[in-house]
Copies of this chain bind each other. A is one copy, B any other.
C-alpha cells in the first residue's frame, strides 16, 4: 500500500487541504464551515463509520464487500472534515499527531501498559 504518491515535495494532506479550499470556494461554502459546524460534521461522520460495526462480534471476520465500501467512504469523510477543520483552526495535523504519540508513550510506559487496556489514570 502506498497511500498516495508524494508529488513534488508536498505532503498528501496539504494537497487535500488545497483541494478542499478550492471545493468550498467554488461553492461559496466557507460561510457554513465554522469550526463548530465542521466539528459536528466530523462527529456525525465518525458515527456513520461506527454504524456498520455496531452489532458485529468483536472478532468478526472481514466486512462484507458492500459494507467495506461504505466504511471506506466514511473514513474518507472523517479525514476530509478533519483536514478542513485543521485548516480553519490553523492546526498542523501531522505535528499534533506526532506530539500526541510522544505524549502517549510517556502516559503508557511499555513495562506498565503491556497487554493491558487500562486507562493511564489507573495504571
Cβ of A2 < 8 Å from any Cβ of B?
Answer: yes
Interface contact A82-B79, CB-CB below 8 Å: yes
Q: Which of B28, B90, B117 contacts A29 (CB 8 A)?
A: B117
Contacts of A20 in B (CB 8 A): 101
Q: Which residue of B lies closest to A95 (CB)?
A: B4
Chain A positions 45-91 with a Cβ under 8 Å from a chain B Cβ: 45-51, 53-60, 63, 68, 71-73, 75-80, 82-83, 85-86, 89-91
Interface contact A1-B90, CB-CB below 8 Å: yes
Q: Which of B27, B47, B60 contacts A108 (CB 8 A)?
A: B27
Q: Which residue of B lies closest to A31 (CB)?
A: B115
Interface contact B48-A36, CB-CB below 8 Å: no
